[in-house]
Amino acid sequence: MYLYNLTLQRPTGIICAINGNFSGGKGQEIVVARGKALDLLRPDDNGRIQTILSVEVFGAIRSLAQFRLTGAQKDFIVVGSDSGRIVILDYNKEKNVFDKVHQETFGKSGARRIVPGQYIAVDPKGRAVMIGACEKQKLVYVLNRDTAARLTISSPLEAHKSHTLVFSICGVDCGFENPIFAAIELDYSEADQDSTGMAASEAQKNLTFYELDLGLNHVSRKWSDQVDNGANLLVTVPGGADGPSGVLVCAENFVIYKNQGHPDVRAVIPRRADLPAERGVLIVSAAMHKLKNMFFFLLQTEYGDIFKVTLEHEGDRISELKIKYFDTIPVTSSMCVLKSGFLFAASEFGNHALYQFKAIGDDDDVEASSARLMETEEGFQPVFFQPRKLKNLVRIDQVESLMPLMDMKVSNLFEEETPQIFTLCGRGPRSSLRILRTGLAVSEMAVSKLPGVPSAVWTVKKNVIDEFDAYIVVSFTNATLVLSIGETVEEVSDSGFLDTTPSLSVSLIGDDSLMQVHPNGIRHIREDGRINEWRTPGKRTIAKVGSNRLQVVIALSGGELIYFEVDVTGQLMEVEKHEMSGDVACLDIAPVPEGRQRSRFLAVGSYDKTIRILSLDPDDCMQTLSIQSLSSAPESLLFLEVQASVGGEDGADHPASLFLNAGLQNGVLSRTVVDMVTGLLSDTRSRFLGLRAPKLFPIIVRGKRAMLCLSSRPWLGYIYQGHFLLTPLSYETLEFAASFSSDQCVEGVVAVAGEALRIFTIERLGETFNETVIPLRYTPRKFVLQPKRKLLVVIESDQGALTAEEREAARKECFEAAQAGENGTGSADQMENGGEDEDKDDALSDEHYGYPKAESDKWASCIRVLDPRTANTTCLLELQDNEAAFSICTVNFHDKEYGTLLAVGTAKGLQYTPKRSLTAGFIHIYRFLEDGRSLELLHKTQVEGVPLALCQFQGRLLAGIGPVLRLYDLGKRRLLRKCENKQFPKTIVSIQTYRDRIYVGDIQESFHYCKYRRDENQLYIFADDCVPRWLTASYHIDFDTMAGADKFGNIYFVRLPQDVSDEIEEDPTGGRIKWEQGKLNGAPNKVEEIVQFHVGDLISSLQKASLIPGGGECILYGTIMGSIGALHAFTSRDDVDFFSHLEMHMRQDNPPLCGRDHMAYRSAYFPVKDVIDGDLCEQFPTLPMDLQRKIADELDRTPGEILKKLEEVRNKII
Amino acid sequence: MQASDRFNINSQLEHLQAKYVGTGHADMNRFEWAVNIQRDSYAAYIGHYPLLSYFSIAENESIGRQRYTFMQKMLLPCGLPPEREED
C-alpha cells in the first residue's frame, strides 16, 4: 500500500510571532511560525489580517526573531528550528517568497537538550544574534555587511557553560557599544551530587551578561548576578539614546529591573482577587513598544491579564517601576505591537485576534509600583485587581484557529452533497464544536425578493474606465428589469433597455455603449442615448450569444452564426455569417488580448458532443481551427486567460495561457489548454462538479479573472499561489451569476436563485474549509455521533476548574462584596468593576477572561447532547462530586429493553501530580429520552481505575480500565462483569472491534489484537506490536489492519500477516492461541508495520472518509496544532513511480526552507515507509520556471503535465 | 598530546563526555542514567511545541506555565541523588 500525504488545512495555531517591515515598505507585517509552516501576515486597510505567504518548511520552528542592519529599511528573519542550523530569511516582495540568505550548521538535527534553536536573541542594533539551547550551548553569530551591502554572517562564537539550564535569553540594548546578551541561568552540577538536598534547595538562578567584543571577536561573561528564583523571561529595555538600557526580568509574581551597576528595582505583579493563594502569577508573553520619547512594555500573565509596565528614569537611573493593569485578552503565545496602532495577539489556544489601541492605559487603574513595594513577614504584600471589560483595546478582526483539535468525526449529518467534518476544538471557556465544510466561506451582503422567477442576471458599467458597475439587469421569462446601482439599488426605466422582452445577454460594448441581446434582435444603446436595433431575419430567433468588448457572435435557431464587430466609430457591424450543421448549444469568445483589435478564437459547442474552435481573424474567418469531442453535450463555455506571472503575490511564475472551460450536461467541468497561436486544444482535465450541468461565468477575484461554475452547488476556479484551485463555495444552489462591483462592495457576485437576487462576496481565498462554530463549556474530550437522530453527545472536562454553581456563587459573592465597598484594595475603580457585573453575567465573558482557577484536584465536567443543525444544547448534565468524563460510547445491550444506551467513563478526584491518583472511577449508563434529546442516568458502576476506553461488543460493553480489558453486561442496578483480561502492559486508551476481534490500543505499547471466545468466555491477546508507540489516535482499517498515531507525531499502519491471520481464523478450538506463549511476556504473533510517516504534529484523531461525492475514501487526521491532513491510497503503480520520482527530485532541488533535510524530517523517529509527501510535491509550481523544466525533463514530462497530475491527485482527495 | 594518545579510547571518551552531555561512562549508576534521560525528555517536550501543548491541555495550564514547570523540573528530575557509597 502506497499513500499520498496531503495537508488539507495548514496548522492554525501559532508558536511565535514577530513583527517588522519585511517587505521594506511602510507597512507593518507579521511573521508567524505555526510549527511546520511559516506565514507572512499583513493587516489590510480594513484591519483584516491577510495571509500573504505561507510556506511549509518540513521542520519544527521553535523560535523567531527579526533584526535590521543599521541604516537598512527592512528586517531580516532569524529562525531557530530543530534542524541544527541557524537560518536567516529575507522576504522577497517581487517573487513573494522567503529567500534563504544564510544557513549555518552548528549541531545535530532534532529538538535536543544541548543543540541550540530553542531561544534566539538579537542585538537591538542588528549586529549580532545569539542562539541558545535549553542547556549549556549558546552561540553568537556576528552580522555585518560586505562591500556590496549584502548581509554576512560570521563563524559562531561559543558562550557555553556546562551543567547550566537556560530559561530565557535576550539582547541588551547598549547603543553602539559592544553587543551584550543576557541569559537567565541555573547551575545544576552541585544539586546532582548532593544527596542531602541542600544544594538543590539552594540552587540559585543567575542573570548573566555575555559581551561580544567586536574588536577581539570573542564572547566573554561580563557580569553575573543572583536573580529571583522564579525568573522565567527576559525583556530588553531600550538603551543608548532611547532609554536606560538593562533588562526586565519577569519572575513568578514579580517584575524586576536589572542592569550592571544598578540596584534591582522590583514590583509585584497584581493578582486576580479570586486566585488561590498557592498559585503564582507568571508572565508568558511580552511586547515592547517604543515611541519617539517614551517606551512601555505589555506583559501578559498566564491568566490572560495584560499589564503595562513603565519605567521612571533619569538618564540610566531607574527610580520607579510601575505595573498597571491594562486589559484582559485570551492567553497568547506572542503579542506584536504594530506601529500602526494594532496589537496582534497570537492565542495559544483558539482564535487569534487583531486589536486596535483605543488608549494606552493612561487612565487610572490598579497599579503596583516598586516605590510602594511592601515587605511583610510572609513575603511581599500582593496587590489585587478585578479583571474588567476591555478599555484600552478593541478587537477588530480575528483569525480562526482550530488549535487544539481534540477530536474529529466525519459524517454527512446534514445530508448535503459532501460530508461535514465535526471537530472539537479549544480549551476551557474557549472550547467549541466546529463544523467544517469543504469550500470557501461567502459573506452575504444582500438578498432581495424579485417579482417573479428570474432566469438570468448581468451587471454592466456605463464606460470602460468606470470603476463600478452602473446597472444590474435581471431577465425574466417575458420581461427585463433594470436596476441602477448607487447608494441604493432601485429600478429605473430610462436606461434604454427594452423591458418587454427577456434578455439573452447584456454587456458593455465598445468604449461606452451598452448592448442588449434579446430573442428578436440586438439593441445597441449609444452613450448619447441613440438606439440602434438589429432585427433577426425572418421569424428566426436568437438562441445563444457570445461576446467580448469588441466582438459579438449570435447563434440563430437552426444553427446559423452571425458575427459582428465594433468598428472605429463604435458601430456594430455585421462581418460574417456561417452555417453550422445543427443547433448551437453554447458559445464563447475569448477576451480581447491586451493591445489587440480582436480575439482570434470563438468556441462553439454543439449537441453532437463536440466543441469547435473557429477563427475570427479576417483572413480565415469562421474556419474551424480545432475540434474536441466530449463525453456529453456542452452546456456552457468560458475562455479563461491566465496572465503571465513572475511570482508576486499570486504565487509562482508561469507563462500566459488560455484555458477553454466547458460545463457538460453530465455535470463534468472540462478544462482544456488552447494554444494561443494555432488554437489547437490539448491537455484536457475534467472534474465532476455536481448533478447539474455547470454554467460558467467570469468574475473578478482579487483583481484577477476567475471563474464561477454553478452546478448543484457553486464552485470557484481561481489561481492561488501558483495553483489553479477549483473550490466549492459554501452557499446555496444558484441559477445565474455575474460579477458585481460597487462602492460598498468592490469585488462581489450578484446571483439569482429562486425568486431572490443575492449579492455576496467571497472571503479569505486559499482556505479549504469554512467553519460554523458552536461554543462549549469545558475542554471537549470526545464525542459520539447519532446519525439517525442527527445529534451529538459531547463530554467536556476541565482540571483545576470550579463547577458552574461554584462559579455562580463566587461571582455573586464578589458582586456583593463590591456592593459593600469592601473589596480588596477598595479603590474607586473596584466599584466600577462591580458595577459592570451585568456584562460579566453573559456566558461570553468567560471566554475572554478564562475560568477562575481552582486547586489542581478539582474537576468540572459535563455531558452535553447537542443538535448541530440548530446549535441548540438539548440536554446538559453537569457532573457532581469532582467527577470528570473521559470516555463515551453508545451501546446496544442484548437485552433490548432500553434500546440504545450511552456509556460514559468518569474518574473522581483524579490527580496527576505528585503521583497519579484517583478516588474512584465510574461507568455511567444513561438512557436516551425524548427521541435522544435528553439523558437519564440509569445507574453507575464503580471501577478501580479511569475507564479511558469504552466500546460496544456483541451486545455487551467492553471497557479498558487501566491495564484491564473487561466485558460488562447490563444489570438492573449496575454493570455485571462477564470476563476480563489483565495482561495489557500499561493503560488501555482505545478499543475497536470487528466481528469477534478486538483491537486494543495501549497508551505506550501500540496495538494488541484480541479475540473473544464466547464458548469459553475468555479474551485472548493473539498478536501485538514490537515497537513501543505512545498512542494518541487509532482507527480500524480492515480485518487485519489498524492505523495509529503516536505522541511524537508519527502516523503508522500495522497489519497482521495474512498467513497468521488465516491460521487464527482456522483454529476451531482456539486451543493454540490459548496455550501459545510469546517471548518476554509478549503475544505469540507480531503485527507488521506497513506504513510509517512523520507528520510533525501530534495527531489527536484519525478518520476514514470521502470528502468528495463519488470519490474514494482516504484517511483524515486532525492534529493538536489545528491542521487536517489526508492520506490517500494510490491505485496504480504508475502513479506511485511518478510521484516517488517527483518527490525525489523535489528533495534534491528544493531543500526545505529552514534547513531540515526532508527525508530526515519525515523519518524523524522511524524511517518513512511507503508514503509520498504531497506537501513537498505541491511546492513544484512555486519553483522557478527553469527548475520546473529541468525536473519535468528528467521525468519525461512537461511542467504542465506535472501540474495536471498534482491537480488530479488533489481532486481525488478534496 | 602524543599522537598515540589521540587514538586512545579513554581520551576519545573524555572528549565525547566533554562535548556531549550525557555520554555515559563505566561507573555510571542508575540514578545518573535516569537523570540524564529525564532531562533529555523534558528538553524534548519543551522543544516540540505540539507535545508541550498536549501536556498543557492535560494539566489545564497555559503553555508558558507548562514550559516553565518543565524547565524547573530539569533541575532535579528524579529527586535527590542516592548517597555515595564510601569506598
B50 and A162 within 8 Å at the Cβ level: the answer is: no
Q: What is the pTM of this model?
A: 0.91
| Lowest-pLDDT range of A453-467, A840-854, A865-879, B24-38 | A840-854
Entry field: residues in chain A: 1214
C-alpha dist (Å) from residue B56 to A369, A911, B61, B76: 32, 14, 5, 21
pLDDT at residue number A817: 65
What would the pLDDT profile of A11-57 be if each residue is shown by its tens digit? 999 999 999 999 988 889 999 999 999 999 999 888 889 888 999 99
Residue A779 sits at the chain B interface (C-beta within 8 Å): yes
Confidence of residue A822 (pLDDT cuts 50, 70, 90): very low
Closest CA–CA distance from residue B63 to any residue of chain A (Å): 7
Q: Over 70: is that where the pLDDT of B4 sits?
A: no
CA–chain centroid gap for A1103, Å, is 18
Q: Which three cell numbers stand for residue A866?
A: 447537542
**Scanning every residue of chain A, which has its alpha carbon at the shortest distance from the alpha carbon of B37?**
A113
Q: Which residues of B42-75 are buried (b: 16+ CB within 10 A; e: fewer)?
A: bbbbbbbbbbbbbbbbebbbbbbbbbbbbbbebb
B68 and A167 within 8 Å at the Cβ level: the answer is: yes
pLDDT at residue number A1073: 63
The H or E element spanning position A1208 is: helix A1199-1213
Q: Which residue has the cell 561580544?
A: A212
Q: Which three cell numbers stand for residue A756?
A: 431572490
Neighbours of A508 (CB within 10 A): 21
C-alpha dist (Å) from residue A886 to A905, A923, B58: 6, 10, 11
pLDDT at residue number A655: 66
Q: What is the mean pLDDT of residues A1041-1069?
A: 91
Rounded to an integer, what distance in angstroms lies between the CA atom of residue A1124 and that of residue A400?
Answer: 14
pLDDT at residue number A1070: 61
Residue A16 neighbours by CB under 8 Å, 6+ apart: A32, A33, A61, A63, A64, A333, A334, A346
DSSP secondary-structure letter at A593? P
What would the pLDDT profile of A756-768 be if each residue is shown by its tens digit? 999 999 877 878 8
Residue B37 sits at the chain A interface (C-beta within 8 Å): no
Residue A200 sits at the chain B interface (C-beta within 8 Å): yes
Closest CA–CA distance from residue A966 to any residue of chain B (Å): 26
**Scanning every residue of chain A, which has its alpha carbon at the shortest distance from the alpha carbon of B82?**
A195
Rounded to an integer, what distance in angstroms lies between the CA atom of residue A217 and that of residue A155?
Answer: 10
Rounded to an integer, what distance in angstroms lies between the CA atom of residue A356 and that of residue A359?
Answer: 9
What would the pLDDT profile of A448-495 be if each residue is shown by its tens digit? 999 889 999 999 998 888 889 999 999 999 999 999 988 888 888 888
Q: A283 contacts in B (CB within 8 Å)?
A: 64
Q: Which three cell numbers stand for residue A123?
A: 542585538
B48 and A232 within 8 Å at the Cβ level: the answer is: no
Entry field: residues in chain B: 87
Q: Which residue from A165, A194, A348 is facing B71, i.e. has the nearest CB? A: A165
Q: Which three cell numbers stand for residue A886?
A: 473521559
Give, in degrees to the nearest 5, the angle at Cα A599 between A594 and A600: 135
Neighbours of A743 (CB within 10 A): 10
DSSP secondary-structure letter at A1105? E
| Lowest-pLDDT range of A3-7, A512-516, A1034-1038 | A512-516
pLDDT at residue number A148: 92
Closest CA–CA distance from residue B27 to any residue of chain A (Å): 15
pLDDT at residue number A920: 94
Most confident among A529-533, A617-621, A1167-1171 (mean pLDDT): A1167-1171
- Strands (E) across A381-461 are located at 384-385, 393-399, 405-411, 420-425, 432-438, 442-449, 456-460
pLDDT at residue number A854: 84
Strands A1171-1173 and A3-9: parallel
| Lowest-pLDDT range of A466-480, A604-618, A803-817, A999-1013 | A803-817
Task: Tell me if A659 sits within 8 A of A671, measured CB to CB.
Answer: yes
What would the pLDDT profile of A519-550 be if each residue is shown by its tens digit? 999 999 988 888 999 999 888 899 999 999 89
Q: Which residue from A111, A404, A1048 is facing B57, i.e. has the nearest CB? A: A404
Residue A855 sits at the chain B interface (C-beta within 8 Å): no
* Preferred mutation among B14, B17, B57 to probe A, highest tally of A CBs within 10 A: B57
Neighbours of A346 (CB within 10 A): 24
Q: Over 60: is that where the pLDDT of A1141 sits?
A: yes
pLDDT at residue number A229: 95
Confidence of residue A652 (pLDDT cuts 50, 70, 90): low
Reported ipTM: the value is 0.94
Q: Which residue from B63, B75, B83 is facing A188, i.e. has the nearest CB? A: B75
Residue B64 sits at the chain A interface (C-beta within 8 Å): yes
Confidence of residue B3 (pLDDT cuts 50, 70, 90): low
Confidence of residue B1 (pLDDT cuts 50, 70, 90): low
Q: Over 60: is that where the pLDDT of A368 sits?
A: yes
Q: Over 80: is that where the pLDDT of A743 sits?
A: yes
Closest CA–CA distance from residue A344 to any residue of chain B (Å): 18
Rounded to an integer, what distance in angstroms lies between the CA atom of residue A79 and that of residue A570?
Answer: 60
Confidence of residue A1159 (pLDDT cuts 50, 70, 90): very high
B47 and A112 within 8 Å at the Cβ level: the answer is: yes
Rounded to an integer, what distance in angstroms lies between the CA atom of residue A352 and that of residue A344?
Answer: 8
C-alpha dist (Å) from residue A260 to A209, A257, A429, A617: 8, 10, 44, 82
What would the pLDDT profile of A145-182 be if each residue is shown by its tens digit? 999 989 999 999 999 999 999 999 999 999 999 999 99
Q: Which three cell numbers stand for residue A261?
A: 551597576
Residue A862 sits at the chain B interface (C-beta within 8 Å): no
Instruction: Beginning with the edge strand found earlier in the chain, give each strand of the sheet holding A704-710 in spatial order.
Output: A695-701, A704-710, A714-720, A723-728
C-alpha dist (Å) from residue A870 to A791, A933, A1167: 10, 13, 47
Q: What is the mean pLDDT of residues A1063-1084?
A: 74
Q: Over 60: is that where the pLDDT of A648 sits?
A: no
**Chain A residues 475-534 within an 8 A CB cutoff of chain B:** none
Q: Which residue has the cell 500500500?
A: A1
Residue A488 neighbours by CB under 8 Å, 6+ apart: none
Q: What is the mean pLDDT of residues A192-206?
A: 91
Q: What is the mean pLDDT of residues A899-920?
A: 92
Q: What is the mean pLDDT of residues A587-615?
A: 90
Q: Over 60: is that where the pLDDT of A721 sits?
A: yes
